[in-house]
Amino acid sequence: MDKKQQSHTSIQKNTKNHQLEDYRKSHGEQLLTTNQGVRVSNTDDSLKAGDRGPTLMEDFHFREKLTHFDHERIPERVVHARGFGVHGYFQVYESMAEFTKAKFLQDPSVKTPVFVRFSTVVGSRGSADTVRDVRGFATKFYTEEGNYDLVANNIPVFFIQDAIKFPDVVHAIKPEPNNEIPQASAAHDTFWDFVVNTPETAHMIMWLLSDRAIPRSFRMMEGFGVNTFRFINHQGKARFVKFHWKPLLGVHSLVWDEAQKLAGKDPDYHRRDLWDAINMGAYPEYELGVQMLEEEEEFNFDFDILDPTKIWPEEIIPVRRIGKMTLDGNVDNFFAETEQVAFHPGHVVPGIDFSNDPLLQGRLFSYLDTQLIRLGGPNFHEIPINRPVAPIHNNQRDGYHRMTIDRSSVSYSPNSLQGNAPMPASETEGGYVHYEEKVEGKKVRQRSQSFQDHYSQATLFWNSMSTAEKQHIIEAFHFEVGSVMDKQIKQRVVDMFNNVDGQLAAQIAAGVGATPPANPGNAGITASSPAVSQENTVKDAKTRKVAILLENGFNHQEVSQVMEALTAAGVHSEIISKNLGMLTSVDGQQLEVGKNYVTTGSIKYDAVYIAGGQQSINTLMMQGDALHFINEAFKHAKTIGATNEGIDLLMASAIQGVAMAGADTQAQVITEMGVITVRNVTDMKNFTKEFINGMAQHRHWIRQNKKQMIPA
Ligand code: HDE
Residues in CB range of 677: below 8 A, 6 or more apart: 641, 642, 643, 646, 647, 650, 659, 660, 663, 669, 670
Is residue 632 within 8 Å of residue 667, measured between CB atoms?
A: no
Query: Which residues does residue 232 pair with via DSSP β-bridges, in sequence order?
Result: 238
Is residue 613 within 8 Å of residue 650, measured between CB atoms?
A: no
The residue from 17, 147, 153, 330 that is catalytic is 153
- Measured from the Cα of 225, ligand 1's closest atom is 32
Cα 2 to chain centroid, rounded = 27
Query: Which residues does residue 141 pair with via DSSP β-bridges, in sequence order?
Result: 114, 148
Query: Which residues does residue 327 pair with via DSSP β-bridges, in sequence order?
Result: 88
First to last CA, the chain: 43
The residue from 14, 17, 61, 80 that is catalytic is 80
What is the per-residue pLDDT across 553-611, written as a single tens digit (0 to 9) for each? 999 999 999 999 999 999 999 999 999 999 999 999 999 999 999 999 999 999 999 99
What is the per-residue pLDDT across 80-95, written as a single tens digit (0 to 9) for each? 999 999 999 999 999 9
- Known catalytic residue at 153: yes
**Complete edge-to-edge strand list for the sheet that includes strand 607-610:** 595-596, 572-577, 545-549, 607-610, 639-643, 675-678, 670-672
Q: Going from the N-terminus, what domains does the chain have, and what CATH number goes with each?
A: 83-386 (2.40.180.10), 461-536 (1.20.1370.20), 545-707 (3.40.50.880)
What's the 450 CA to ligand 1 centre distance in angstroms? 25
Helix (H, G, I), strand (E, B) or coil at 479: helix
From 343, 359, 360, 368, give the residue whose CB has the most ligand 1 atoms within 8 Å, as the site to mutate: 343
What is the per-residue pLDDT across 152-211, written as a single tens digit (0 to 9) for each? 999 999 999 999 999 999 999 999 999 999 999 999 999 999 999 999 999 999 999 999
Is residue 521 within 8 Å of residue 581, measured between CB atoms?
A: no
For the chain, give the percent of residues with pLDDT over 70. Answer: 97
- Known catalytic residue at 80: yes
From 82, 204, 340, 363, give the residue whose CB has the most ligand 1 atoms within 8 Å, as the site to mutate: 363
- Measured from the Cα of 362, ligand 1's closest atom is 41
374 marked ligand binding residue: yes
ipTM reported for the complex, 2 dp: 0.98
- Measured from the Cα of 359, ligand 1's closest atom is 27
Buried/exposed code over 247-284 (b: 16+ C-beta within 10 A; e: otherwise): bebbbbbbbbebbbbbbebbbebbbebbbebbeeeebb
pTM comes to 0.96
What's the 89 CA to ligand 1 centre distance in angstroms? 23
Question: Which protein residue's CA is at the shortest distance from atom 16 of ligand 1?
Answer: 136
What's the 339 CA to ligand 1 centre distance in angstroms? 15
Question: Which protein residue's CA is at the shortest distance from atom 18 of ligand 1?
Answer: 367
Question: Which protein residue's CA is at the shortest distance from atom 1 of ligand 1?
Answer: 363
- Measured from the Cα of 371, ligand 1's closest atom is 13
166 marked ligand binding residue: yes
Closest CA to 187 of 488, 489, 440, 409: 489
Ligand 1 is surrounded, with C-beta below 6 A, by 77-80, 83, 117, 119, 136, 138, 151-153, 158, 160, 163, 166, 225-227, 343, 359, 362-363, 366-367, 370-371
Instruction: State residue 658's pLDDT score.
Output: 77
Instruction: State residue 392's pLDDT score.
Output: 97
Instruction: State residue 465's pLDDT score.
Output: 98
What is the per-residue pLDDT across 378-399, written as a single tens digit (0 to 9) for each? 999 999 999 999 999 999 999 9
Question: Which protein residue's CA is at the shortest distance from atom 34 of ligand 1?
Answer: 367
What's the 367 CA to ligand 1 centre distance in angstroms? 7
Instruction: State residue 2's pLDDT score.
Output: 45
What is the rounded (10 degree) CA torsion for 230, 232, 238, 241?
Answer: -30
What is the per-residue pLDDT across 240-260, written as a single tens digit (0 to 9) for each? 999 999 999 999 999 999 999
- Measured from the Cα of 367, ligand 1's closest atom is 44
pLDDT at 279 over 60: yes
- Measured from the Cα of 160, ligand 1's closest atom is 31
What's the 351 CA to ligand 1 centre distance in angstroms? 22
What's the 116 CA to ligand 1 centre distance in angstroms? 14
Instruction: State residue 381's pLDDT score.
Output: 98
Measured CA to CA, the distance from residue 170 to residue 71 in angstroms comes to: 27
CA 91 to each of CA 72, 106, 111, 139, 326: distance values in angstroms, whole numbers, following the listed order: 37, 9, 5, 14, 9
Measured CA to CA, the distance from residue 297 to residue 130 in angstroms comes to: 40
Instruction: State residue 642's pLDDT score.
Output: 96
363 marked ligand binding residue: yes
24 marked ligand binding residue: no
What's the 104 CA to ligand 1 centre distance in angstroms? 24
Phi/psi of residue 439, each to 5°?
-125, 135
Measured CA to CA, the distance from residue 574 to residue 639 in angstroms comes to: 15
Question: Which protein residue's CA is at the shortest distance from atom 11 of ligand 1?
Answer: 117
